[in-house]
Structure 1
Amino acid sequence: VPEDARRQIEHELSLIEELGYPGYFLTLHSIVEFARSREILCQGRGSAANSVVCYCLGITAIDPVRMKLLFERFISRERNEPPDIDVDFEHERREEVLQHIYEKYGRHRAAMVCEVISYRGRSALRDVGKTLGLSLDQVDRLARSISRWGESASVEALAETGLDPSDRTLLLTLELAGQIEGFPRHLSIHSGGFAITKGPLYDLVPVENASMEGRTVVQWDKDDVAAAGILKVDLLSLGMLSAVSKTLATVRETEGKQLSLASIPAEDPATYAMLQDADSVGVFQIESRAQMNMLPRLKPKTFYDLVVEVAIIRPGPIIGQMVHPYLRRRDGIEPVVYPHPVFEPILGRTLGVTLFQEQVMRLAVTAAGFTLGEADALRRAMGHKRSHEKLMQLKERFIVGLARLGLTREQGEAVFKQFEGFAHYGFPESHSASFALIAYASSWLKRHHPAAFVCGLLNSQPMGFYAPHTLIEDARRHGVPARPVDVQRSGYDCTLERLDAPGFCPPGGRHPHAPQAQPFALRLGLRMVRGLRETAAR
């Protein structure tokens, strides 16, 4: 074990033991091990990827020592709250994992966390309007008078929708709807939060049966559960993991190659060449129009370039005005400069531009003299609108700290302003790296196994950014002919059929990023027939 890794492991284990979290990590480890024993693809993400312990336990797939990630973004003494580990599972098989938890811990000790749905403008108007006896037409008009989410209705908007602004019932509806905005309306199930306790859960919190069969839910949300010190794990679903899993299975079945996520070759030039041409339809995280526009400009050549690509098309870097400086510096148009030499080791990989939350924390420690826990408090204060007073205190200390390096107050203000605009929507580097792993894997599969890849995507619908017909057309351009649904040949899922003469060439010539001799055709399955129920199709 490398010395730096050994030191980091000892540091993490010491803090985990001190804060009383060993059981939490072991619980997540057991859940992940169960999933892998059932060949369910899973991967931790978020700030947990900053932890070597999570990496060693197989919860996350990013080596934080090699990536030089910051553990205190994940856990710190000062934060005084349990760690938050998000684990993604194949979206079609996550229920197996959830039911395993119920079976292992019992329904008296495990239940999903609820989410409190609060009244917003439209929902408040609809419920109050119905209660006061307004007609459905009036209620609909009132609701349509709100153009944006979170906006409240106004008297002026009544006339614009053809309603009488002097009607007392309508005015009372507006008044009461405004009063109940933000009030709880009903409970829903959290997307993946699971509360697990040593003793009976119902001794601590109300538990009820969920509307979804086979689930129970506590009547507290994630913040309440955390405040009570109840262990919570976040088990989320990710469609791309289902698609990748099915793609790997198809490759094994049709080509006999024993591929896995771990065995996909790293840093493949052909894959990066494909991405540099914005050929990313169907690829995880980098298939949107905005990402496609960025790919030829950023020209990813390494895995870390993909980490940046995933993070840069986000509100944080855009609001912080960091996208164009990064691209200009990457192209050599603008020199890479740092406010002080101490910034260079921290911002060197991103060319002097702050793109990640961990960089803000490291600079607070290295340049301004914060402890790691205080640096995390700064990050959290930047991200919460209610922490303005705390943020101003930390800002003053940050600027004073920079002054010790010789920076003027104006320079310190400029640095902090950049951080402040960015940190409201900043992306953790660990989270971006976790997503970049899946982005690279899906890109490699698209480049080298396009038929299996599109088959996996179609069999995992609904998911992703594009409709099935777009995916099919993109596969055709990459040398994968699509054969129609056939009652005699099609199963429920799409399948691959071997071509009599490999090397199908679509009109317009062979795609530059298609394999030389792609030997399979795509047979569309009955799942592609709109309106046909799965029970009937099978």
Structure 2
Amino acid sequence: MFLNIHSQYSLRYGTMDIKTLIAEAREKGIHEMVLTDINNSTGCMEFIRLCRKEGMDEQDDAGNIIKPAYYLKPIIGIEFRRNNQLLYIGIAKNKEGMRALNEFLTFHNLNQMSLPDEAPPFVDAFIVYPYSKRTGLKDNEYLGIRPNEVNKITGLSLMGMEDKLVILQPITVKNRVEHRLHKYLRAIGLSTVLGKLEPGDYCEPDEVFVTERNIQERFERYNFMIANTKRLLSCCCMDDYTFGHKNKKTFTGSTHDDLSLLTKLAMEGSTYRYGINNKEAIVRIKKELKVIAELNFCAYFLITWDIVNYAMSKGYYHVGRGSGANSIVAYCLKITDVDPIDLDLYFERFLNHKRSSPPDFDLDFSWDEREDVQDYIFKRYQGANTALLGTMSTFKDNAIIREIGKVMGLPKSEIDSFTDPTKNQLHANNDVFNKLLQINSRMKGMPNQRSIHAGGILISEEPLSYYTALDLPPKGMPTVQWDMYEAELIGLDKFDILSQRGIGHIKEAVQLVLKNKKEKVDIHDFKSFKTDPKLNSQLRAGTPIGCFYIESPAMRQLLKKLLCEDYLTLVAASSIIRPGVASSGMMKMYIQSYHSPDKVQYLHPVMKEQLAETFGVMVYQEDVIKICHHYAGLDMADADILRRGMSGKYRAKIEFDKLVARFFDKAKEKGRDEKITKEVWRQVSSFAGYSFSKAHSASFAVESYQSLYLKTYYPMEFMVAVLNNYGGFYQRWVYVHALQQTGAKVHLPCVNRSDSVVNIKKTEVYLGLIGIQGLENSLIEIIPNERKENGNYRDLEDLIRRTQLALEQAVILIRVGALRFTGKDKKELLWEIHNYLGNKTKVVSDKMLFHFPPKEYVLPDLENNMIEDAYQELELLGFPITLTMFDLLKTSYRGDVFAKDLEQYQGKVVKMLGNFVCDKTVNTVKNTKMWFGTFIDSQGNFFDTTHFPTSSPAYPFRGKGCYLILGTVVLDFGVPSIEVMKFAKLPIIDNPVLITK
């Protein structure tokens, strides 16, 4: 009887999740129903899977049945709506029917077309129209009569229609209380206030589960309708759906040829990576290939290789990272650049027979090349079988309160106060606030809107439309309607095609070196990079500004504390810098052990043997696997499952508990002391939740070294590349400052010298037009392109004629100094431009045969001021070039101490002056806040500050500018910082323009 069920995936409409729908059906004794969410099929596979699970007994650890099996037949479909109006409901007879419904919706989504008034003829799907459509029904089409519409047909002749009427009992809410929640959702979805909702905007209050008997009683005068509905349901069967291994099965067309090709590529790659006949490498390759073939992953490896091969053929640089770097086959196929033999990485961390969740490769490309790689994948692997992975955003606390506040019609100031947690006590007796909290508790975590996964792409063996309809988000590529977790449960493994700025830095720096210095850089020569003393000295000094993953204040400090000057230490640093590791105390323990390795006490010889590299600390996930294997005797696959379970990534609790017991049993079999085993287990279980994949850290470290190489040997080109690829951890001015420190002469933008982005010629650098705030995007491209095509601009008039420059845009260029090529100062040019364009008549663009000099005007003396220039640069660029922030201070004082000398003042109170770079807020164990600051002194060197809760509220950060800092110098493992006692932002010289006004 239940042909029209809405779940929460009917976004901002349904109120029940799939589990609740099934629980309600079970309670009401319902044995078959159709999930038909509005314009999506997000929940269909989950619905089938959970209904099947309901049909199995649920047992406790002892095997006792705690929840008996209950048969519930899942049927799936889609409710089609246009502009919030129900058009028709599609119900799949079988898997092919669902494919047809999904493809119908997909076609309209991808072509951005409205749904038609009538559904097309479906062979394997039924269509149910609302009762208002009474004519022209096809063989597979019906009219649905709702229980509250029975009175409409009473007394009417239904001759000739008996076979076309079915019972339509929509389900949207759990009860009348949730009906109110539904109204809030509808108001949010329609962007209106509750009071303006019309009856057609929300569901009827009776759209709740009732018993089948209740429905039959209401239709007892129309038994034919009951029979029609039952017959329709009996024609539907979803048994064709299976779950697991839905990826593209082969790369070459046969599994045998796939394995042959993969073996050939791996062996050829072995020669490239390790030389001829490296026995250790060949043994490991063969071992991995056996597992890859047995788990049907040959095609997955070959498709990844194909993607990388395409990118390399186009000259794109990539980084393969994640647990895939544990694979020597991936290393030999150039998917990754991490040597698993060199780092003692375990393949089982990536792939093993007992792993329940699919592994994946993370492939990073430059931000401006990733889209082309994605486009290649879509063209290469058939559009119907390829799509981007979706994701589902949910309603969250403050967002819910803001949304509900809006639909309640509350003023913004009141909503703002309700979202401030410090005022919760103040609002404790406020009825409106308490009502908001009640709604918040019900709405929190509900799906809000579909979006796109950061980089996941699915490539399936059969069309994806069997499992989902496709959306067309702003990115412009077909996207499935569910997320990575659902993909995993269906049996689809994603390919992560990601982008990052660090690769853009490397790619462009290599290009700039070739162009500016005529030198070709082999950026893949990592083996020489990691032993280069110049690179390692920069690591130890903690000065890698602009370098991927190692430039943040916390990372720079860690590198100095570890005296880092080698690859393995950098790999460890890349792991222990993560927040969970630092807060757990593992970072401090590691640093202490690093400086005093002779004082490290190992619980057992096996711990020393396996963890000597990390001084007894389980820094990596691979360390956890090692100990489980070598100390307790678990095989590698079980060890990885145990590791995943301890980090919260393994769902089968019963199996996990069995493995824990197995850990102790196997350790006992090996004769391990029970007391020591308990302590080993305590350490293993406590570290596992924080440890990081060594392969992942190693991938980061390789890229860090590549950035560091470019920064060390080609610093100007590298910093220009950083600026042109959206910077990194810091604001733009920090990288301009770093560029100036390389000896480059950095110029303001100039229409005759600048491109859209920063350019460099020898040591002369011109900032790009793209950095000028307020300058239109079209002009950023037109100005340099027109100049390159037809020569330099002669004067202001020539620039205006050739680019159609408007008055407002011309003023921006003049004020930023981009027209200084004319030889006239800014005030002269402003006078000229207002005289020329002040009447706002559009200048006609023409190609002048002869150039006539502009009229000259005799102007009074106009005073120009460097302070005024610096203010304009601050406004239009975000930082000054003509002067520094220190030059703008009213005081000439620059501090008593400078950053380079801080170590000499340990324990002493010092007074320093610093230009603010950034700050970070952290919560203490006492639930108070403290701050960490980073500054640059007047000599151009970085230093760091610590602001404890007792002092910070009295001396807050106040944004950009220079600060006077009073505090005590402390050394932490030899690295200085200042514990702040007093702290104040210093005033700068007044803007001469404002003084004049």
Please confirm whether the aligned pair reaches a TM-score higher than 0.5, indicating the same fold.
yes
Residues 1:239 and 2:501 aligned together:
yes
Tell me if structure 1 keeps the 8 A contact 2:633–2:670. Answer: no
- In structure 2, relative to structure 1, the CA distance for the partners of 1:271 and 1:385 (3 Å cut) is closer
* C-alpha distance in 1 between matches for 2:461 and 2:692: 34
Bigger mean CA offset, 477-486 vs 425-434: 477-486
Q: What is the aligned partner in structure 2 of residue 153 from structure 1?
A: none
Does structure 2 retain, via aligned residues, the 8 Å contact 1:492–1:527? yes
- Cα 1:333/1:220, change in 2 over 3 Å: closer
1:88-99 equivalence runs, <5 A:
88-99=364-375
Distance 1:522 1:390, change over 3 A: farther
Task: Map 1:92-171 to 2 at 5 A.
Answer: 92-145=368-421, 157-158=423-424, 160=426, 163=427, 165-167=429-431, 169-171=432-434
Taking the aligned partners of 2:659 and 2:594, their CA distance within structure 1 comes to 32
Number of residue pairs matched by the alignment: 502
1:261 has 2:537 as partner: no
Aligned to 1:45: 321
Paired position in structure 1 for 2:352: 76
1:363 CA drift (Å): 0.8
1:529 corresponds to which of 736, 752, 772:
772
In 2, are the aligned partners of 1:381 and 1:390 still within 8 Å (CA)?
no
Alignment-mate amino acid for residue 21 of structure 1: F
Aligned mates of 2:649, 2:567 — CA distance in 1: 34
Match of 1:434 in 2: 699
Match among 278, 287, 297 for residue 2 of structure 1: 278
Per the alignment, residue 272 of structure 1 pairs with 536
Map 1:273-288 → 2, pairs under 5 A: 273-288=537-552
Corresponding residue SS for 1:43: strand
The one-letter amino acid paired with 2:690 is Y
Q: Deviations over 1:394-441 (max 9, x none)?
A: 444434544556654443333333333332232100000000001111
Question: Structure 1 residue 126: deviation in Å?
Answer: 2.5
TM alignment of 1:340-355, pairs within 5 A: 340-355=604-619
Percent of matched pairs sharing the same residue: 30
Residue 334 to residue 533, structure 1, CA distance change in 2 (3 Å): farther
Aligned residue runs from structure 1 range 187-336, under 5 A? 187-212=450-475, 214-263=476-525, 265-266=528-529, 267-332=531-596, 334-336=598-600
**Contact conserved, 2:597 with 2:615, CA < 8 A, in 1?**
no
Structure 1 residue 476: Cα displacement? 2.1
User: Is 1:413 equivalent to 2:413 in the alignment?
Assistant: no
2:622 aligned residue: 358
Alignment of 1:47-62 (within 5 A): 47-62=323-338
- CA distance in 1 between counterparts of 2:554 and 2:341 reads 31
Aligned amino acid, residue 536 of structure 1: L
Change (3 A) 1:497 1:432: same
Contact 1:119/1:181 (8 A) holds in 2: yes
**1:81–1:192 CA distance, 2 compared to 1 (3 A):** same
- Asked if 1 retains the 8 angstrom alpha-carbon contact of 2:473 and 2:479, the reply is yes
TM superposition shift of 1:144 = 2.8
Larger mean Cα displacement after TM superposition, 404-413 or 474-483: 404-413
Aligned-residue CA RMSD (Å)? 2.2
The secondary structure found in structure 2 opposite 1:186 is: strand
Deviation at 1:483, TM superposition (A): 2.2
Partner Cα separation in structure 1 for residue 538 and residue 328 of structure 2: 32
Q: Which AA in structure 1 matches 2:607? A: F
User: What TM-score comes out, normalization by structure 1 length?
Assistant: 0.88
Any stretches of 5+ residues in structure 1 without a counterpart? 148-156, 499-519
Amino acid corresponding to residue 193 of structure 1 in structure 2: G
What is the CA-CA distance between 1:226 and the residue it aligns to? 1.5
What is the alpha-carbon distance in structure 2 between the residues aligned to residue 196 and residue 386 of structure 1? 25
Determine the structure 2 residue equivalent to 1:517: none
Amino acid at match of 2:768: G
| Alignment deviations for residues 498-526 of structure 1 (CA, whole Å, 9 cap, x no partner) | 2xxxxxxxxxxxxxxxxxxxxx2332222
Check the 8 A contact 2:547/2:704 in 1, yes or no: yes
- Determine the C-alpha separation between the residues in 2 that align with 1:527 and 1:260: 30
Deviation at residue 98 of structure 1 after TM alignment: 1.3
2: CA distance, partners of 1:333 / 1:537: 57
Contact 1:450/1:480 (<8 A) preserved: no
Corresponding letter in the other structure for 2:367: H
Residues in 2 aligned to 1:413 and 1:471: alpha-carbon distance in whole angstroms: 51
AA partner of residue 296 (structure 1): K
Match of 2:437 among 157, 164, 174: 174
Q: Deviations over 1:66-91 (max 9, x none)?
A: 22111010011111333211111111
Task: Tell me the amino acid that sits aligned with residue 284 of structure 2.
Answer: Q
2:760 counterpart SS class: strand
Q: Which residue of 2 aligns with 1:373?
A: 637
How far, CA to CA, are the matches of 1:394 and 1:271 in structure 2?
A: 45
State whether residues 391 and 451 of structure 2, in contact with CA within 8 Å, keep that contact through their aligned partners in structure 1.
yes
**2:716 and 2:744 in contact (8 A); partners too:** yes
1:317–1:426 contact (8 Å) kept in structure 2: yes
Please give the secondary structure, in 1, of the residue aligned with 2:479.
Answer: strand
Code of the aligned partner of 2:327: S
Q: Which amino acid aligns with 1:244?
A: I
Q: How far did residue 354 of structure 1 move? A: 1.3
The answer on 1:22 being equivalent to 2:298 is: yes
Preserved contact between residue 320 and residue 418 of structure 1 (Cα < 8 Å): no
Contact 2:360/2:493, CA 8 A, preserved across alignment: no
Instruction: Give the structure 2 partner of residue 503 of structure 1.
Output: none
**Aligned residue number for residue 818 of structure 2:** none
The code of the aligned residue for 2:336 comes to T
Q: Which of 237-246 and 220-229 deviates more?
A: 220-229
TM-score by length of 2: 0.48
Counterpart of 2:693, as a letter, is P
Report the residue type matching 1:331 in the other structure. Answer: H
Instruction: Rate the CA distance shift 1:302–1:229 in 2: closer, same or farther, 3 A.
Output: same
Q: Closer, same or farther in 2 for the Cα pair 1:137/1:385, shift >3 Å? A: farther
What is the CA–CA distance in structure 2 between the aligned matches of 1:14 and 1:389, rounded to whole Å?
29
Tell me the CA shift for residue 19 of structure 1.
0.8
Q: Given that residues 361 and 495 in structure 2 are in contact (C-alpha distance below 8 angstroms), is that contact kept between their aligned partners in structure 1?
A: yes
Segment drifting more, 306-315 vs 362-371:
306-315
Q: State the shift of 1:312 in Å.
A: 1.8
* 8 Å CA contact retained: 1:271, 1:443: yes
Query: What are the superposed Cα offsets for residues 363-413 of structure 1, whole Å, 9 maximum, x if unpaired?
Result: 101111111111111111111188677655544443454455665444333
Which AA in structure 2 matches 1:90? S
Structure 2 gaps, min length 5: 1-276, 782-997
Indicate the residue corresponding to 2:308 in structure 1: 32
Q: In structure 1, the residue corresponding to 2:543 is in which secondary structure?
A: coil
Aligned residue type for 1:398: F
Q: 2:319, 2:703 within 8 Å by CA — same for their partners in 1?
A: no
2:749 aligned partner: 485
- Is the aligned partner of 1:452 residue 2:728? no
Q: Is the 8 A contact 1:395 1:416 kept in 2?
A: no
Q: Distance in 1 between matches of 2:546 and 2:418?
A: 40
CA separation of 1:415 and 1:490: change in aligned 2, threshold 3 A: same
Give the match for residue 516 of structure 1: none
* Counterpart residue number, 1:510: none
Distance in 2 between the 1:353 and 1:172 partners? 50
* Larger deviation, residues 446-455 vs 289-298: 289-298
How far did residue 316 of structure 1 move? 4.2
Larger Cα-atom Rg: 2
CA contact (8 A) 2:548 2:704 kept: yes
1:225 partner amino acid: A
| CA apart distance, 1:345 | 3.0
**1:22-66 deviation line (CA, Å, top 9, x unaligned):** 111111111111111221211110100000111111111111122
Distance 1:373 1:386 in 2: 13
